[in-house]
């Protein structure tokens, strides 16, 4: 699509939207940047050539659009749907960006673990050649345009279901779907629709491309088969797997001791295997893979140990915003001497809490409920012998958890819900939890 002189509307005036608007304007498009908010974030400014339309989504604006570019997280808008039905192009921001990237794109999606794997692969790639890491994590993909990574290196992109929903020709040289568990059903409506959105990461792959999925995961395998990429697997029985205590890849001779990983838990062993496989398929040297596996200490708010007090460890996994992630966090504490006091709740995302109940029935000491979703969680746990407690604030939740925990236990913030009822985001929620934990005094409870 020739972008010169077209009427383009960019929806969402955050970092991604501003980057997309600048790129479109540079290509000669007539650009309107639209947002329901009434002003741009403090310290940000749109290019002089970009028209601002703030405070709502006027129908006339979309009726005149040839191209609509959606920032990540923009909800389904009837004005956009009507424009699409009329024949206007509707692209995710990643679709726009990909048309200006010549270098290989390594795309990573999944319900859980994608930020960790994206960061691991990004750090591995940086050792070997120019690399850009972004997408749903960090910088917008359009910011990769005109960088050395986009022309002569590699672009590593974390991709959400929202972004993949609106691609057209976007293609990954290496595409990975790490897992699919119920999430964002409030947006997609059904699990099948959500899974199909994840699977679009493979849709445009060619026979020379690579598709990466967990070994034995029939859902992910079926999604990968939608495209023409060669399928590769990780995890037990896969090309890269933990064998006798080593992350092993026979194709490049990798044999890395699991004991040397700084990130803990079975889910992070799987993440490390996935990253090693993606890196090998992208022709990143084994030495770079080994170096990052040995040095990567994890991302903030992902099973981060905040402190140990009175024999109890306090973990911040605020990024566990769905049930699958919360279950994985509990599984990551499999070597715990005691049990887990779980802090959970927030904005419900439409999935079942049954897997969480099943796991907590076995490993839980107590469940402390917070936020808007507390009532739904309490209903889901009706009849369980697990003690349930309500808290009106994070400070109260942490103090309750301290009283409930015993030496050898862990207090785990893994909310299984979104954060926007009480907090600005999962990072803010994790920071408030860490502050409350660090404010606890030693001595008797």
Helix ranges, 92-159 (H): 93-98, 114-128, 148-152
Spatial strand order of the sheet with 7-11 comes to 50-54, 30-35, 7-11, 67-70, 89-92
Q: What is the CA radius of gyration of the chain?
A: 23
The number of residues in the chain equals 445
- Distance of alpha carbon 371 from alpha carbon 421, whole angstroms: 7
Q: Which of 15, 184, 198, 232 is catalytic?
A: 184
Cα 372 from chain centroid?
Answer: 22
Residue that the structure tokens 């890196």 belong to: 279
**In angstroms, what CA-CA distances link 15 with 57, 105, 163, 277?**
19, 21, 15, 31
Strand blocks (E) in 26-184: 30-35, 50-54, 67-70, 89-92, 105-109, 131-135, 154-158, 174-177
Q: Which of 15, 114, 210, 301 is catalytic?
A: 114
**CA-closest candidate to residue 331, choices 356, 365, 306:** 356
Residue that the structure tokens 């990573």 belong to: 108
Q: Which of 34, 112, 136, 322 is catalytic?
A: 136
The string of DSSP codes covering 271-315 is HHHHHHHHHHHTT--HHHHHHHHHH----TTSSEEEEEETTEEEE
The verdict on whether 114 is a catalytic residue reads yes
- Residues classed as catalytic: 114, 136, 184
């Amino acid at each position: 699509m020739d972008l010169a002189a077209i009427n383009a509307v960019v929806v969402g005036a955050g970092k991604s939207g501003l980057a997309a608007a600048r790129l479109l304007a540079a290509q000669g498009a007539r650009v309107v940047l639209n947002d329901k908010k009434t002003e741009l974030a403090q310290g940000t400014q749109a290019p002089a050539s970009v028209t601002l339309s703030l405070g709502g989504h006027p129908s006339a604006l979309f009726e005149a659009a040839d191209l609509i570019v959606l920032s990540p997280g923009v909800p389904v808008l009837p004005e956009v749907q009507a424009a699409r039905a009329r024949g206007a192009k509707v692209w995710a921001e990643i679709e726009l960006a990909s048309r200006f990237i010549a270098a290989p794109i390594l795309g990573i999606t999944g319900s859980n673990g994608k930020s960790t794997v994206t960061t691991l692969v990004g750090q591995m790639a940086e050792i070997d050649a120019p690399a850009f890491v972004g997408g749903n994590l960090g910088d917008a993909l359009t910011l990769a345009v005109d960088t050395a990574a986009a022309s002569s290196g590699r672009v590593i992109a974390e991709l959400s279901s929202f972004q993949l929903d609106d691609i057209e020709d976007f293609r990954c040289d290496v595409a990975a779907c790490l897992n699919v568990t119920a999430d964002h059903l409030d947006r997609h409506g059904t699990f099948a629709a959500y899974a199909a959105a994840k699977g679009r990461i493979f849709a445009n792959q060619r026979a020379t491309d690579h598709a990466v999925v967990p070994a034995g995961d029939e859902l992910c395998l079926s999604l990968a088969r939608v495209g023409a990429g060669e399928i590769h697997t990780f995890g037990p029985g896969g090309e890269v797997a933990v064998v006798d205590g080593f992350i092993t890849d026979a194709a490049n001779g990798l044999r890395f001791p699991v004991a040397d990983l700084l990130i803990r838990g079975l889910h992070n062993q799987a993440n490390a295997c996935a990253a090693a496989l993606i890196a090998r398929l992208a022709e990143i040297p084994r030495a770079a893979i080994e170096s990052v596996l040995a040095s990567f200490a994890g991302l903030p708010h992902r099973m981060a140990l905040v402190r140990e007090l009175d024999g109890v460890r306090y973990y911040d996994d605020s990024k566990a915003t769905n049930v699958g992630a919360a279950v994985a966090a509990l599984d990551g504490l499999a070597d715990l001497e005691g049990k887990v006091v779980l802090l959970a709740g927030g904005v419900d995302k439409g999935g079942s809490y049954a897997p969480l109940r099943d796991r907590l029935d076995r490993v839980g000491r107590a469940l402390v409920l917070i936020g808007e979703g507390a009532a739904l969680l309490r209903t889901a746990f009706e009849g369980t012998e697990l003690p349930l407690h309500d808290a009106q604030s994070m400070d109260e939740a942490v103090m309750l958890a301290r009283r409930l925990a015993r030496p050898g236990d862990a207090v785990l913030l893994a909310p299984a819900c979104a954060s926007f009822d009480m907090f600005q985001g999962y990072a803010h929620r994790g920071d408030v939890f860490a502050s409350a934990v660090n404010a606890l005094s030693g001595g008797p409870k």
